[in-house]
Amino acid sequence: MDAIRIPPPAELDSLEDEHFRQVVRAFLRENYPEHLRNPPKRLHWAENREWYMKLAEKGWLCPGWPKEYGGLGLSPAKQIILTEEYERYGVARTNDHGIVMLGPLVIKYGTEAQKTFFLPKILSGEHVWCQGYSEPNAGSDLAALRTEAVLDGDHYVVNGQKIWTTLAMDANWIFLLVRTDKNAKKQEGISFLLVDMKTPGITVRPIINLEMHDEFCETFFDNVRVPKENLVGTLNKGWDMAKALLGFERIFLGSPRQSGYALSRLKLLAERMGLWEDAEFQDRYARLRLEFEDLKALFGTFVEKLKRGESLGPDVSMLKVIQTELFQKITDTMLEISGENAGLLEPMEGNRDLNIGGLYIQARPATIYGGSNEIQRNILSKNVLGLPG
């Protein structure tokens, strides 16, 4: 194989797409730690720090940020290529809330002082962020959130509880949606606040999920005093800001990769179970396979839109629903055809690619997170089909 030169970060955005793809592949071969490929679970900071810092050192940490803030300034089309190659290589997700969510928000709405203080610390790995949006009584109905911030002199005093704060135990900063006006309509009294996790009054409690993993947390706020300059953007406009930030990244929830991975495991499993030539199985597999191929084609039409410089409409919700439900259908089929192996806690035959129960459980939250599929169908019926109510 010819060695591919990896150009400096500032030049990446100007490469031809296919050349860029080759550069990403070479970059991963050179830099990605082999033992972190295809981790079965979401990694903690202690585990993925090595890779995060490597990205930071190489200047590759923030692909979507403008170059002037230390990002790669990549177009959506190039970011999709980057993500495709990361997924193909089995690159672990990092503690990326600062990179993906907070950075772009501060760049768009933050003061100069906020930009100067926070952005370099994300780039250096000094600040690891987590997201405080959901609450026990504000899940799909996020705007019902009640954690409140009351101004007291130069500080906001925060009281309440957040939930599903992914990897909060690893984070040293959290960005919050908080209620700052209880009398306004529910979307209109919400603000965006940045909080140092070392502030007295914050308690983090891990939640063990069905994967027996502790990536989610509950985070409690008891009279937590936050300097008022940590408010981002306009008071009471936090909801609009958070919504405005839901950009083309929504497309990734519909990336066919997850289903493609599961399909290849289903095939392997069918072979091990002696079912690959079975006519009934073949028909079931064909249906899943065709759904996958059509999903790929549909995904491609959305990528084409981004390449033409168009933004995504509410119809992108289709991708998320189709992808996640296909992923589940595949893992359902794996469970069904594997007999008693379905119930084993460890992968069948000690083969990580035959992790039947594990994959089945991993597929469950896919239809819940990122806007449950029921919410996505609401969006489709109201904002795409124009149905009333």
Partner 1 sequence: MSAAVQDDRAESIRMIRDSAAAVAPPGGDLKRVRELRFQDPGFDPAVFREMGEMGWIGLRVPEAAGGAGLGLGEACALAEELGAALVPEPLIPAMLSAAILAGTPRLAKLLAGEAVLLTAWQERADTLEVPGNADASRRFIPMAAGATALLLPVREGRKLALYEHPAAGLTIERTQDGGNVGSFTPDLAGATKLAEDVGPALEAALEEAALLTGAYLLGGMERAFAMTVDYLKTRSQFGRIIGTFQALQHRAADLKMQLALTRASIESAAAALDEGATGDARRAAVSRAKARAAEASLRVTRECIQLHGGIGYTDQYDVGLYLRKAMVLANQYGSASLHRKRFMAVSPEVEE
Residues identified as active-site: 249
Nearer to partner 1, 88 or 93 (CB): 88
Give the separation between CA 65 and CA 53, rounded to whole angstroms: 17
Which region holds residue 383: left if phi is over 0, alpha if psi is between -120 and 50, else beta? alpha
* HSE-up (13 A, CA, CB side) for residue 339: 7
| Smallest distance, partner 1 to C-beta of residue 377, A | 4
Residue 382 binds partner 1, judged by CB under 8 A: yes
Query: Per-residue string for binding with partner 1, 84-123, x by CB under 8 A?
Result: ----x-----------------------------------
Q: Select from 315, 337, 357, 369 the one that contacts partner 1 (CB under 8 A).
A: 315
The span from the CA of 289 to the CA of 220, in Å, is 45
**Residue 381 C-beta: closest distance to partner 1, Å:** 4
Among 269, 322, 354, 359, binds partner 1 (CB under 8 A): 322
Provide, rounded to whole angstroms, the least separation between the CB of residue 94 and partner 1. 22
Residue 44 burial (CB < 10 Å; 0-12/13-18/19+)? middle
Site residues for partner 1, 17-46, by CB under 8 A, read none
Contact flags string 280-309 toward partner 1, x per CB under 8 A: --xx-xxx-xxxxxxx-xx-xx--------
Radius of gyration of the chain (CA): 22
Instruction: Round to whole Å and give the CA distance between 376 and 97.
Output: 22
Using CB under 8 A as the criterion, what x/- string covers residues 209-228 for binding partner 1? --------------------
Strand 148-152 and strand 216-227: pairing?
unpaired
Among 162-170, 188-196, 200-208, 373-381, the segment contacting partner 1 (CB under 8 A) = 373-381
State the DSSP string of 230-299: GEESSTTBHHHHHHHT--GGGGGGG-THHHHHHHHHHHHHHHHTT-TT-HHHHHHHHHHHHHHHHHHHHH
Question: Cβ distance 320 to 334 under 8 Å?
Answer: no
Instruction: Decide if residue 188 touches partner 1 (CB under 8 A).
Output: no
Q: Which residues bind partner 1 (CB under 8 A)?
A: 88, 260-261, 263-264, 267, 282-283, 285-287, 289-295, 297-298, 300-301, 315, 318, 321-322, 374, 376-378, 380-382, 384-389
